[in-house]
Amino acid sequence: MLMDFIYDHVGFIAIFLLFFLMVLSVPVFVSMGLAAFAAALMVEDPFLAFRNFINISWQGASIFELIALPLFIFTGTIMQRTDAGRDLFEVTKAWTGSIPNSLGVATIAACGIFAAISGSSVATAATVGLVAIPLLLEEGYGERRAGGFVAGGGTLGIIIPPSIPLILYGVITETSIGQLFIGGVVPGIIMMSLFTLYVVLSRPRVMITHSISLEERMTITRRSLGVVLLPVVIIVAIYTGVFTPTEVGALSVLYVCALGFAQKKLSFADLKAAAVVATGATTMLFMLIVFGQYFAHFLTFEQVPQAIAAAIIENASGIWAVTLMIMAYIVLGMFLESAAMLLISIPIFFPVAEQLGMDPIVFGIFAAISMEIAQISPPIGVNLFTIHGISKIDLWKLARGALPFLLIQIGMLYLVYLVPEIVLWLPNSMK
């Protein structure tokens, strides 16, 4: 009887083991591998289970499209060492000077531009935060708003292309990464606009504007033109189909290296240090991918995602099913960082999205926005810890400051579901 129960529920046993191990502070990638392998041993021959583990893990690590990941990570780490954050902030500050709360608006704009270079939420928050937070505090925005602006703006790194989570999603679901990138452009612009509107309407103690002449603006822009143009180059290259996302990643590395050396802001020592950091981040991410692929394969083989999808659709449909997914993502975001959350959730919720009639590209953007929520959800929100590390602002102040951005993102999830054309219009125009 016990064995019958195990055979019937081994997939759910694997999920229980996963969360049990994470509660014990076992690293997420180890938890995923151990949970799936232990569950497999309950129903499979040990030799067969081990062979499947090796084969599936190797297949997960050898997917060609994953080459783009270290390239975009490397681009972001190089940019962090070339004063790119300061250059971007100076440009956005110059062009937003006449707007109320202009420094806050400049922060969101700088985050959006840097996001389109690095593809990383954490890199965006850290790079822009180092420059923006001291100035925001100086102008009387207060720690809660200053940290919240950077934490919220940093999440744009997940949806504005190139996006590392969208690459992972494309690999897991076999969806075109190029189309996912293009699909993220319009929602990214909408979200950036909503963030900006909130910042303009917020009420810091001092609402300062900065009057800068057109000549000064043009001078500052020319000085930082190389950095500002890179996002345009990336998006145009992907949209026109001239380069694949992987080739765009290689182009980005060459571009930022050439720019850094030409401006004498990058040395070979800096390049080596950036490579070391990028290698560490890539290694950690690949370990998550390898074990995440095995975990996802085991769940799929045991029909767990299909069972969960059927249960959700049976008890809720349409907007209510979407609400259940949003609630699940919010809860997961409290305990998992974005990459782990993606690898665990997509095998489960992708069948639900299919049942709801969501296009894979639409659900990819939906999932990416959900990852953004995870970045600023306490107690694990990585952006919050990143900003705390560079500014020493209290974590709960940061969480309160980021809350309006989190609510905007929840609203965007419903908008993406109800109006999928905002995601699909641009990719469809490429066909």
pLDDT of res. 361? 95
Fill in the amino acid letter for 164: I
Q: Whole-model pTM?
A: 0.80
Q: What is the pLDDT of residues 203-213, one digit of tens each?
A: 665 555 556 77
pLDDT, position 40: 81
Strand, helix or coil for residue 63: coil
Q: How does DSSP assign 279-307, residue by residue?
A: HHHHHHHHHHHHHHHHHHHHHHHTTHHHH
- Provide the residue type at 373 as one letter: I
User: Are 338 and 374 contacting, i.e. CB atoms less than 8 angstroms apart?
Assistant: yes
Distance, first Cα to last Cα, the chain: 55
Residue 418 confidence class, pLDDT cut points 50, 70, 90 = very high
Q: Considering only residues 381 and 197, tell me which one the structure prediction assigns the higher pLDDT.
A: 197
Q: What is the DSSP letter of 205?
A: S
- Greater pLDDT, 400 or 16: 400
pLDDT of residue 389: 81
Q: Is 244 exposed, middle or buried (0-12, 13-18, 19+ CB in 10 A)?
A: middle
Q: How confident is the model at residue 61 (pLDDT cuts 50, 70, 90)?
A: low
Q: Is the pLDDT of residue 39 over 90?
A: no
Average per-residue pLDDT in the chain?
81
pLDDT tier, 95 (very low <50, low <70, confident <90, very high otherwise): confident
Of 123, 207, 135, nearest in space to 160 by CA: 123
Quote the pLDDT of residue 7.
Answer: 61
Nearest Cα neighbor of 55 from 369, 302, 297, 370 is 297
Q: How many angstroms separate the CA atoms of 252 and 157, rounded? A: 15
Q: What is residue 210's predicted lDDT score, i.e. its pLDDT? A: 59
* Average of per-residue pLDDT across 344-356: 85
Q: DSSP readout, 6-44?
A: HHHHHHHHHHHHHHHHHHTT--HHHHHHHHHHHHHHHHS
Q: Is pLDDT of 5 > 60?
A: no
Instruction: Break the chain into its structural domains and give their ranges.
Output: 44-429
Question: What are the E-state strand segments in 222-355?
Answer: none
420 — pLDDT class (breaks 50, 70, 90): very high
- Predicted local confidence at residue 360, as pLDDT: 94
8 A C-beta contact, residue 126 and residue 169: no
How much of the chain, in percent, has pLDDT values that exceed 70?
Answer: 90
Most confident stretch, 63-77, 79-93, 352-366: 352-366
Q: What is the mean predicted confidence (pLDDT) over 263-289?
A: 84
Counting Cα atoms < 13 Å in the Cβ hemisphere of 351 gives: 16
For the ranges 110-124, 126-140, 151-165, 166-180, which has the lowest average pLDDT?
Answer: 110-124
Q: What band does 60 get if pLDDT is binned at 50, 70 and 90?
A: low
